[in-house]
Amino acid sequence: MPAKAAYKVAKFPARRVSVQQLQDDYQVPEFLAALKHFLNSRATRVKVVFPTESDRFEVFNQLYMANGPSVVTRHSSSWHKIHAKPKVAACGHKAESPAKFDTAFVWDEGHQPKTLLEPNGTYLVSSTR
Amino acid sequence: MVRTWSHRLVECVLTSILVVHIAQVRIIFKLPEHIGHYPHPLAYVEWFTSLRRRDPVSGQFVVTRSTRNHQRNVSVISADRFAHPCHLQAQCGRKITLDWTSDNVLEMVSAFHVNSYISLDTFVALSDCY
């Protein structure tokens, strides 16, 4: 029987940042190398466009994951957040906000359920494995 | 019918395939259009070691940071690979360091227990796992 789950991100990204900002604020020194490796592994063309230091990336503060009813209690579906946001310094009356980089279970490559894009931007994930 | 990640994980466990790993999510981002089109958002993640070792007392899985060339093992992955949030608890000795806070503990500790008691579904999914 097909399984369904879903995830979604905000309609608009939280910010657009340079590679240097990513490396500093998100502490990701290997960002470009890791992204190049990802693009190379999925290259379907002879010529692949690789990112450079001058590129800017649209980033999201969190991803929402939907889960079906509990396997134990049968309680209804719920949404879970996975945060990935850097520390934000205090500004005016706004207090400092600490960095939050959540941990998550990740399917191995090829074992994730198949996905369909809904008109409202939600990705439905269905599995027939 | 909507099913949970634990249903899916149990299916995979029954076929003896190691299918989930734990990662810390650093960035969730979109690929700029001039680089190419990808149907899902992407995420830069830092990996933890595989779910293989259990703590003899609590029975919970114990994981550490996965490394490659003495650096954190990192990847860019597609967002459709996220299965479920994961709660890690710092592994402590006889004393708990007072410097640890919820904001810094992931950076300061070397080994973690995978909290299977965080939800019933997580408990079911991990109890007979591997």
Q: Which of B78, B32, B30, B75 is nearest to A50 (CA)?
A: B32
pLDDT of residue A6: 75
Q: Which residue of A has its CA nearest to B40?
A: A123
List, in sequence order, every residue forming a beta bridge with B65; answer none if it has no partner: B48
Q: What is the pLDDT of residues A83-97, one digit of tens each?
A: 999 998 898 888 988
B113 close to B106: Cβ distance less than 8 angstroms: no
Task: Give the H or E element holding residue A66.
Answer: strand A62-67
The pair of structure tokens assigned to A34 is: 């890791």
Contact B37, B48 (CB under 8 A): no
Instruction: Return the DSSP state at A94.
Output: B
What's the pLDDT at A47?
74
Q: What are the residue ranges in chain B where pLDDT is below 50? A: 1-2, 16
- The letter for the amino acid at B104 is N
Domain boundaries, chain A: 3-127
Query: Given a cut of 50, is residue A4 above it in pLDDT?
Result: no
Q: Is residue A123 a contact partner of residue A7, using CB atoms and an 8 Å limit? A: yes
| Per-residue buried b or exposed e for B5-15, using 16+ beta carbons within 10 Å of the residue's own CB | bbbbbbebbee
Residues 6 or more apart from B105 whose CB is under 8 A from it? B90
- The count of C-alpha atoms lying within 13 angstroms of the C-alpha of A91, restricted to the half-sphere facing its C-beta, is 4
The ipTM assigned to this model is: 0.88
**Residue A67, pLDDT above cutoff 70:** yes
Q: Which amino acid is at A24?
A: D
Residue A117 contacts residue B38 (beta carbons within 8 Å)? no
- Full residue range of the structural domain in which residue B67 is found: 5-127
Residue to substitute from A52, A70, A107, interface B, most B β-carbons within 10 A:
A107
A31 near B27, Cβ under 8 Å? Answer: yes
- Global pTM? 0.85
- Does pLDDT of A123 surpass 80? no
Average pLDDT rounded to a whole number, residues A1-24: 78
Does B128 reach chain A within 8 Å, measured CB to CB?
A: no
> Which one is predicted more confidently, B78 or A122?
B78
Are A115 and B18 a contacting pair at CB < 8 A?
Answer: no
Instruction: Identify the three-state secondary structure at position B126.
Output: helix
Number of structural domains chain B divides into: 1
| Contacts B105 to A, Cβ<8 Å | none
